[in-house]
Amino acid sequence: MSRYKSPVVRGAAKTRPVSRDDEDESMIVGDETNINVVVRCRGRNEREVRENSGVVVSTEGVKGKTVELAMGTSALSNKTYHFDKVFSPAADQIMIFDEVVMPIMDEVLAGYNCTIFAYGQTGTGKTYTMSGDINAPADLAMSENAGIIPRVLHALFDRLEADENDNSVKCSFIELYNEELRDLLSPDDSVKLKIFEENKKGHISTVVQGMEETYVTSATEGIDRLREGSHKRQVAATKCNDLSSRSHTVFTVTVYRKRLTETGEEFVNAGKLNLVDLAGSENIQRSGAENKRAAEAGLINKSLLTLGRVINALVDKSSHIPYRESKLTRLLQDSLGGRTKTCIIATLSPAKSNLEETISTLDYAFRAKNIRNKPQANQVLSKNTMFREWALEIERLKSELKATRQRNGVYLTPETYEQLTTENESRRILSEEQRDKIETMELHLRNKLQELFSLQTNYHSLKKDHETTKVTLDSTKSALEKTEALLAQTQQSLAEETALRKAYQHTERDLRGVSKNLIGTLGQTTADLDGLHSKLHRRSDLHDLNREEASALKMLVDSAAESIEERLGCVQGDQLTAIAKVHDRVLSFVNCELSQARSSCELLKEQLVAMDGSKICLQVLDQEERAEFRAVARDVEALRGQVRARVTDGLKELESAAQRIQHGIRTEVDSLHQYLHKSSTSLSSTIRDSGSALLNDLGRLLVQARSHTFRVDSKGEMFRDKVLEATRELDSFSRTETERRAAERAELLDTISKLLNETTECQADRLANRLRETQEALGCARTIHESYSNEFRGEAKRWSKDMHSTLRKAVHKGEELIAHCETDLEGATEATDRIRATTSEVHASTKRTIDTQSEELDRQLGALDGISQRVFSISEEKSAARTCEVDAHVNNVRAVFGQIVDKIEDSGNRMNILEADIAVYSDQLKDRALDLAHNPTSVADQLSSLRDNVRAAKYHEYEPAGTSPARKEYPVPDPSRLPRTSLGKHGRTDDDEHSASPSKRRFGSRSPAKSPSKRASPRKALVAEERVNRFGFGGPGEGGLRELDVNAFAAATGTEPLPKMLTTGGVETRKRKKRGGSAGTVGGENEDMPALSASVGPRTGLRRKRS
């Protein structure tokens, strides 16, 4: 086995091109043939079966020519593609090879360059089709699943072994990975290959520098080289394929065969087969490629996209084919549109999940089917010529090697050597060009000789024909007479047709005048339309300015509203804080006063209970005293009875004195009892009245305090409710104003040109009125709060005065009660003194009587003295006890009233403190309100500034420029009055003309004519060009009357053409050039005017006529 290095630069000392046979060979030109396209559909894989993906691809049995795609229920019909061959999933590798590759093998052995490449989505079986299983079993020469490349090698060597002539086979294996070429058969992986182009005999061929070509002597060696390169190939696992190819590979097999001519001369015939395995196109999202794999997928898709653009350019026969945009297309340049016979195998997936990629693959393959190559067989080379060249090459290499070893050659600087090499290359190219010209001239000379030989042959045949013609001349003369008669009739018909043509020409002149008027109307209409567009543009500019003003005012209103809401929130917080403090102070004061009043009431109730107890004690003492006096009276009566019984005579004289003494004592005792009872009752009544008056005064003061507290609380609640209500109203007004402003803004967008100024002023006035009402409400609330504060201070002062007055009254009542008690005590003392005086008088009178009755009445008088002494002592004891009790009660009453006076004074002091605190809180609220009213950045100033800005905003009114056109009627001719051709004298009318020409529309028909087809046949286009070019419009690249240029009539009639600014001919012309307009209608220049007038409507101008 030998290896052959093939550098790219020709003419260098140590290099030669890739294919030596391509240098000296001349191609035999063949016919153009389409690229052969084969479709192979694989079965569903495990992933697609697991996902329950349906089958959307159907074929005609195992081998057919059509592929049908099920587009789903939403599509109107399924898609069907036609190809050269279509194989179903049931087709195996042997069938693919026999049906597709074997015919190409015959072409390769015949001396043609052929290419087979697989194209399709990743994971559809491209590598399986091209390589397959390259690991053959031990008992078999080739695996059952072997692909095209192993089968090509086996079939090729089987054919060569059966041939007795000498032959040789060499192969190469290169990879295109990330737009970089790599030689998979080179032991050095770091060697980078480069692509160059070689222009040889007018044909550009692609040369790869540094690619190794290995000669193989058997199929096994070739498969080993394939296996060796496949192990170096870039593969990776994706979601679509576990062993996804990440590069494009080209496995090239070159065959050299020796042939013997009839003379025994030996020649060498060369054929080449390129087997290309392309990397599959993939969707990065579906394949899950990331980082490096994503970059690989991007470059793969880029190269395949360039391949698609090359295919489209070749199909469209574009002047520029983008081969240079990718190295893949440069490698396949000769296979696509070149001198190579090419077969494309498109691989498909039948799963519904891959429907988009399947459609893309079929579209590419269908487009590639239309590419036409010019296959050219390689001319055989003489064996002796090759030997001579090889001998010269060997001698040259030996001399260079000898000079290098002996160092006696010519040594040059790199610059001189490069210049020499450049000059040699230039001379070589010049010589090749001259040789090509010589070959071309020799070819022309051979063609001219062939033409001369054909002319001589034609001359001899014409001479024979001349002799034959003489014989037939006589018979022709008789036929001439008949022809002359027919000629007369034809001349008469010609005269009639001439008259008809002149009538049509007259009608066309009249129609030309009508068309001039219509063209003038069209220009005037276009000018009016420009004026209307200018007016709309000015109105649009004014609308933009007004919108900007409205937006600025909206931003200003929003900022002012936010500032007002912030300041009102601060005021509301201060008001609530002050009211809460006043409420807490008043509530604590009222609670304290209520507790003091309750304690005073309890104390008074205790004193009343004590006074009731004292009254009961006095009543008990009075009853005891009466009982004792009755006992004394009974004792005295008993003693008197005894004295009467003992001294009847002696006491008779004393009876009057005793009765007078008894009556005086009873009178004094009764008066004393009455006086004491009256004094006790008066004292009790006075105490009760004083206590009741004091309780009434305290109750009245308590009720007044409660009422005043309730009024203060209610007024505070009213003020707080008013502030909250004003705040809620302001918030509600802000929200309502925002909603109304949005609604009014929507209305303003519809009627902005009429209502902007009015709506803006209305919004400003409404906002100013609402804010003024809010200010008045806050001022009224402040006034009410001040009046309530003053009223509260007045009530507090009046309450203090009432408390002082009540205190003075209580003190006065207490002093009156004490004076009354002292008066009663003095009356009781006087009564006792009178009783004591009366007793003394009775004692004196009795002593005088006893002096006379001394002995008898000593014992009785002694007992009577004892009784008197006992009555006096009892009276003294009772008076002293009563006096002590009254003194104690008076002291208690004084102490109670002193406590009440102290509590009332404490209440007055607390009232003064409360009044000062309320005054402080009122002053704070008043200062806050004054600060809110007089602050330079207050709400009123902001609202006033906002109102001034709103009123100062100007609405830009539209000012007429005077250039807008006024409404007017454009002159349009009546279709019934248009000029018509009338030839009554020839027996033919317009109706006859219309009936004779079915392609013309009848007079007055308003139905539009059908549009011509998008593509016209070349024959019809040439006929239309001949008919239409007489009038200066139409042409092979333009449309019919539908694409009519109005200036074409101007060129034909000699009138002034319309300005270009009134037409859109430039755009239409470019569009027509792009799509290639259809040919004009034959005879369209003589079409009657009713059909033209049907396309002209009232006040619409001239429309493009549909042909």
Annotated binding site: 120-127
Do you know the residue count of the chain?
1107
The tokens for 974 are: 């009546």
Burial environment of residue 68 by CB neighbours within 10 A (0 to 12, 13 to 18, 19 or more): middle
- Residue 39 CA to residue 60 CA, distance in Å, equals 12
For 1049-1074, b/e burial (b = at least 16 CB within 10 A) is bbeeeeeeebeeebbeeeebeeebee
User: Dihedral of CA 920/926/931/934: which sign?
Assistant: negative
User: Could you identify the residue written with the tokens 């449309």?
Assistant: 1039
Residue 1080: other Cβ atoms inside 10 A? 31
3-state secondary structure labels for all residues of 721-767? HHHHHHHHHHHHHHHHHHHHHHHHHHHHHHCHHHHHHHHHHHHHHHH
Question: Which has the closest alpha carbon to 687: 612, 598, 777, 786?
Answer: 612
The amino acid that residue 617 corresponds to is C
Binding-site residue positions for ATP:
120-127
User: Dihedral of CA 215/220/224/226: which sign?
Assistant: positive
Residue 208: alpha-carbon gap to chain centroid: 53
**Dmax over Cα atoms in the chain, in whole Å?**
240
- Residue 531 CA to residue 524 CA, distance in Å, equals 11
- Residue 17 CA to residue 425 CA, distance in Å, equals 14
Q: Could you tell me which residues are beta bridge partners of residue 173?
A: 251
User: Dihedral of CA 1010/1014/1018/1021: which sign?
Assistant: positive
DSSP 3-state assignment of 258? Answer: strand
Question: Which has the closest alpha carbon to 253: 288, 286, 287, 215?
Answer: 215
Residue 110 makes CB contacts below 8 A (sequence gap 6+) with 271, 377
Q: State the alpha helices, DSSP H only, in 178-291.
A: 219-232, 284-287
The tokens for 820 are: 């009354």
Contact indicator for 643, 857 with CB cutoff of 8 Å? yes
Element at 275 (helix H, strand E): strand 266-277
Q: Which long-range contacts (CB under 8 A, 24 or more apart) does 569-576 make?
A: 571/778, 571/928, 571/929, 571/932, 572/723, 572/724, 572/727, 574/924, 574/925, 574/928, 575/719, 575/720, 575/723, 575/925, 575/928, 576/720, 576/723
User: Could you identify the residue written with the tokens 């006024």?
Assistant: 966
State how beta strands 113-120 and 341-348 pair. Answer: parallel
DSSP 8-state secondary structure symbol assigned to residue 101: I
Question: Which has the closest alpha carbon to 275: 87, 118, 100?
Answer: 118
- Residue 1048 CA to residue 1044 CA, distance in Å, equals 8
Residue 177: alpha-carbon gap to chain centroid: 41
The tokens for 399 are: 């001399």
DSSP 3-state assignment of 186? Answer: coil
Residue 361: other Cβ atoms inside 10 A? 22
